Amino acid sequence: MLEVTKQGRIGILSINRPQRRNAMDRDLVAALVQAFRRFDADPDIAAIVLTGEAPGFCAGSDLKFIGRLSLEDMCRFEAETGDMARLIGFVRKPVIAAVEGFALGGGFILAVSCDLVVSADTARWHLPEVPIGWLTPWGLGALISRVGAVAARKLCFASEAFDGREAKRLGLVDHLAEAGHAHEVAMALAQRLAGLPAQAVCSTKRFFTLGISGMSEVLDVEANEAFAGNCLHPVARATLERFASRSEVKGRPC
């Protein structure tokens, strides 16, 4: 579910759960944590690229997985996912997201939690949580850091999805690529960063992380509590029950 490879001094993490649209369950989150820590400790790695195999970057939390959990376990899983995303800021090497296809829900937040974001111009970006019944339960601090609180609130209301060009205009994305070339652009960017003095890159990342992370952990606690309350309401319960009852269909999201 997570391919971990190296290309020169670049560590590459590729989410590979196509049958679930690269959505996150507990095993994938644990694998991401382990891989980030592994590359952070590897002196031969100078930058990290995070991407997703086709059909897209990541569809967020696996609703089929969380829909079968108790409310307590579901909130614990979302808290663990938030911990993983915040860890990105404290990895000493720059982490670059390469987004093709889509970045939805938690996948959207995972991408903007990275130090730099490359998106295909046609990639679909969307935060669908409020329409399906709950507040995004983690990572809103990263969103606010990129676009500000007022714009972040508007995005969470999720009036419509938008493409990579609009994501770049909003400040969610740092670099645009033609469809099919986000990984290539991200790798070139990673190579450039890997060629800079490692200590200076690390110090720069650490300095800005202290300011960017700010109240992120506190915000995640508050969002998780709001998420727990939201999940008791009928719209959220109906969403979770609908996904939990679906069976796997090969080659198609459930």
Q: How far is 114 from 112, CA to CA, in rounded Å? A: 5
Strand arrangement of the beta sheet that strand 124-126 belongs to = 102-104, 124-126, 162-163
Assigned domain for 167 exists: yes
Q: Print the domain residue range for 144.
A: 2-179+203-244
Q: Identify the DSSP state of 42.
A: -
Burial class (CB in 10 A: 0-12, 13-18, 19+), 62: buried
Assigned domain for 229 exists: yes
Q: Are 167 and 119 in contact (CB under 8 A)?
A: yes
Q: Identify the DSSP state of 24.
A: B
Assigned domain for 192 exists: no
Assigned domain for 145 exists: yes
Assigned domain for 212 exists: yes
Q: How far is 140 from 254, CA to CA, in rounded Å? A: 26
Assigned domain for 87 exists: yes
Assigned domain for 123 exists: yes
Q: How far is 217 from 79, CA to CA, in rounded Å? A: 10
Q: Report, as residue numbers or ranges, the catalytic residues.
A: 129
| CATH number, domain containing residue 109 | 3.90.226.10
Over the chain (254 residues), the average pLDDT of each successive run of 10 is 98 98 98 98 98 98 94 97 98 98 98 98 97 96 97 91 98 98 98 98 96 92 97 94 66 32
Q: How many domains does the chain have?
A: 1
Assigned domain for 254 exists: no
